[in-house]
Amino acid sequence: MTGRHDNRDTLVSGEENRAMFGAIALRYDLMNRVISLGLAGYWRRRAIAFLDPTEDGCYLDIGTGTGDVAIEILRRRPGASVVGVDPSLEMLALAKTKARRAALAGSISFQAGNASALAYTDASFSGVITAFCLRNIEDRRAALSEMRRVIRPGGCLVVLELTVPGGRLLRMLYRVYNRTFIRLAARLLSRGNAYRYLVESIEDFPPPERVTAMMSEAGFEQVRHIPLTGGVVSIFVGVRV
């Protein structure tokens, strides 16, 4: 696969990314519910099921945003612990508030961080999950290698990401939806170019077979791809052996 998928023309710099998502933090959850037609929670739960957290496990949530994945892991396994990492301080502030309200603050640590240079020792976590984040990372290969480094042998990486459906008709309908409904919702509910970037970044994201290849190249084994909702969202799973 060559061309735009390798050049990643739509990606913004790390600093631009932090500023962009910081600017929409207060309406981020509302926008996700609207543009996913209420399916975002279902997609997160499916991804966490593949992570299969244990009661005594410690998990890393990369691109935690406002903390929904981290909180859902603890709702599923109250005895686990989670570290949520995100570059946006505004998002992390909202995540900490959510965790306090859910009485889960003692089991979650939210920290600012860079997915391509994780500040954790080797084999620190039982597993790693990242939801709607890989698409926004400048150096995906470095990030995948870092994710593998911090996972204990036998643990897995779960990537939940927006993707373009493979079928011709569904792909055409999906692009119409992206370029009309999402753009309209963005104008009504947010400011700036964050959701214009969202539409472009989805369409520019590598196809599933390239993502699985990148995970294998990073050293993951038993890599697989699970499409959801007709392929508009995908789960990618890999194991560190």
Domains in the chain with CATH codes: 4-239 (3.40.50.150)
The model carries a pTM of 0.89
Neighbours of 50 (CB within 10 A): 18
**What does the alpha-carbon distance between residue 160 and residue 182 come to, in Å, rounded to a whole number?**
19
Helix (H/G/I), strand (E/B), else coil: 235: strand
Summarised one tens digit per residue, pLDDT across range 16-28 is: 666 777 677 777 8
pLDDT tens, position by position, 220-240 = 999 999 999 999 999 999 999
- Residues 52 and 130: their CA atoms lie apart, in Å, by 14
Amino acid at 30: L
